[in-house]
Homo-oligomer: A and B are copies of this chain.
């Protein structure tokens, strides 16, 4: 397929590389910054542009991988080319594109991407939605060229997934940061927590999290929880967070109590 990428952020970068590796040709990379467009375009042998007026209409698909509030305005300008358009957002509706064309869909990779870390795209769940069965079929076929985990997901379910992803990814990362900051005050290195973080994530690859919950809250160990709240006395925000999370764990369903 001939694919044009709109955006040069983390999602655009990883998608462009995955498409290129699968044998598709990347026609152009658009970014408001020509420097960013050029950097990515160089890697995937595409033309960089920083003005939508320079769009090459000889393409099969526009992949719009930019901030949610910019999707509509950009789609409006691309619609004139009458080509298939998809966005890559978990939170944005299909309607964001439908306002301008009915040849539209969604191509949402349920993963967190960083520029400095490679990801095996074959394991990235791809959530596909097309405005009609033909489009859905086309997107499904395209998705299967880069991932083994392709799901047909409508806009309502995609929003649920996006919300769940915030709990499963963005919030845990913030808690890692809190852990790092707590031990840094005692001159302890984050390396001490890294194996624990990895093991916690590996454990739920073959178990449900509620079945492998450990820690003072699931044991309802009030003495330890009180001591922790006291240790956090200089930071009321962390005290509140500790209490709220512990209360949730205490009420967690299907726990195995007594674990250490």
Dominant secondary structure at the A interface: helix
**CB-based contact A180/B209 at 8 Å:** yes
**CB-based contact A193/B164 at 8 Å:** yes
A170-B217, A200-B172 known; A192-B161 Cβ under 8 A: yes
**CB-based contact B117/A10 at 8 Å:** no
* Residue A4 CB within 8 A of the other chain: no
Complex Cα–Cα for A199 and B164 (A): 15
* Residue A168 CB within 8 A of the other chain: yes
Interface size class of chain A, counting residues whose CB lies under 8 Å from the partner chain: 35 or more
> Chain B residues near A190 (CB, 8 Å)?
204, 208
Binary flags per residue of A53-86, CB closer than 8 Å to B gives 1, else 0: 0000000000001011100000000000000000
**CB-based contact A214/B112 at 8 Å:** yes
A175-B175, A193-B165 known; A10-B260 Cβ under 8 A: yes
Shortest distance in angstroms between A25's beta carbon and chain B's nearest beta carbon?
Answer: 24
Q: Closest residue to A229 on the B side, CB-wise?
A: B163
* Residue A23 CB within 8 A of the other chain: no
Q: Point out residues on A near B: beta carbons under 8 Å.
A: 9-11, 65, 67-69, 91, 110-114, 116-117, 119, 123-125, 149, 151, 153, 156-157, 159-180, 182-183, 185-186, 188, 190-210, 212-219, 221, 223-224, 227-228, 231-232, 237, 240-242, 244-245, 247-249, 252, 258-260
